[in-house]
């Protein structure tokens, strides 16, 4: 018995859409967590190979800078040393984390060209590699922050729940931003230098060493509309025993939503072109 021509023809498999490929990329990257955690650790070890103190240099350099500038800043802004030391210490530690993540995010795919040109790895693997590496560097400075909080007597007022929430929002936003900057920098090689210059300017308009209350009412708009100030508020205020402001939380969530939409749109547009730009 012969089958009809329509029944004999095997059904054609539909090609997955770009949205399905996006979900597969993210899911595949999460399943390859051993790969990007190993690459992140390898980057840290390679940076301090044959060094006597190794990663301790990171903490030592930050501790010296925080101590010296706090002694000057407390007198400059006429604030008690105990209050200013904890405020500036946390601000410096977290702003350094944000800055290094953003700057290194521009090199995400450029630094991974040897992997991407040989095997079809999920591209989010290398995004998670950058964020994971900077979280390790943040952990190196955590003892300094804890020591300062203990010395100033504010460690008992820490709000761990709010801090973990702020850290989760910041890390998720960092992943999306690194993916965007990595793709943009792979196409336009001037982007890393532009971002580095912008981050240098952001240090002065973000309340790292000064407090928003020291500004006039009109000048406080610099803080209100500054995303870096919002994320810094989410990370620093809980460790100082305070709940982050509503405006900062709304700004951070708004930026997170905007980054998610831009990431989804850009992935559909440029996912297949990144390898050819390298």
pLDDT value at residue 78: 87
| Contact present, 84 and 152 (Cβ < 8 Å) | no
Judge whether residue 7 has pLDDT over 80.
no
Tell me what the mean pLDDT of segment 116-120 comes to: 84
* pLDDT number for residue 6: 47
15 lies in some domain:
no
Residue 42 has pLDDT above 80, yes or no: yes
Q: Is residue 169 part of a domain?
A: yes
Q: Is residue 17 part of a domain?
A: no
The residue-averaged pLDDT of 202-215 equals 90
Domain of residue 148 covers 33-44+54-277
Averaged pLDDT score across all residues of the chain: 88
The total number of structural domains in the chain stands at 1
Q: Evaluate whether residue 21 is within a structural domain.
A: no
Helices (H), 5-117: 5-8, 18-31, 33-47, 56-76, 81-105, 113-116
pLDDT of residue 173: 97
Residue entry with tokens 């290094």: 100
Q: How far apart are the C-alpha atoms of 115 and 17, rounded to whole Å?
A: 24
Place of tokens 């190993």: 38
The mean pLDDT value for 200-214 works out to 91
């Amino acid at each position: 018995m012969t089958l009809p021509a329509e029944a004999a023809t095997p059904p054609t498999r539909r090609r997955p859409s770009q949205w399905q490929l996006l979900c597969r990329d993210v899911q595949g990257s999460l399943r390859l967590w051993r790969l990007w955690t190993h690459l992140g650790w390898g980057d840290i070890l390679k940076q301090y190979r044959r060094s006597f103190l190794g990663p301790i240099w990171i903490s030592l350099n930050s501790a010296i800078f925080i101590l010296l500038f706090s002694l000057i800043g407390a007198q400059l802004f006429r604030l008690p040393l105990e209050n200013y030391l904890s405020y500036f210490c946390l601000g410096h530690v977290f702003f350094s984390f944000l800055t290094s993540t953003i700057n290194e995010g521009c090199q995400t795919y450029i630094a991974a060209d040897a992997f991407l040109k040989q095997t079809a790895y999920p591209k989010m693997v290398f995004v998670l590699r950058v964020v994971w590496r900077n979280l390790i560097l943040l952990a190196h400075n955590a003892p300094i922050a804890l020591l300062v909080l203990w010395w100033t007597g504010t460690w008992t007022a820490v709000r761990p729940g709010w801090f973990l929430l702020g850290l989760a929002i910041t890390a998720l936003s960092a992943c999306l931003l690194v993916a965007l900057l990595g793709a943009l920098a792979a196409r336009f090689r001037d982007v890393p230098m532009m971002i580095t210059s912008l981050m240098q300017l952001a240090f002065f308009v973000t309340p790292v060493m000064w407090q928003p209350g020291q500004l006039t009412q009109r000048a406080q708009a610099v803080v209100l509309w500054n995303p870096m100030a919002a994320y810094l508020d989410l990370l620093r205020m809980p460790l100082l025993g305070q709940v982050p402001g509503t405006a900062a939380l709304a700004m951070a969530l708004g930026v997170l939503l905007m980054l998610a939409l831009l990431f989804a749109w850009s992935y559909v547009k440029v996912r297949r072109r990144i390898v050819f730009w390298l």
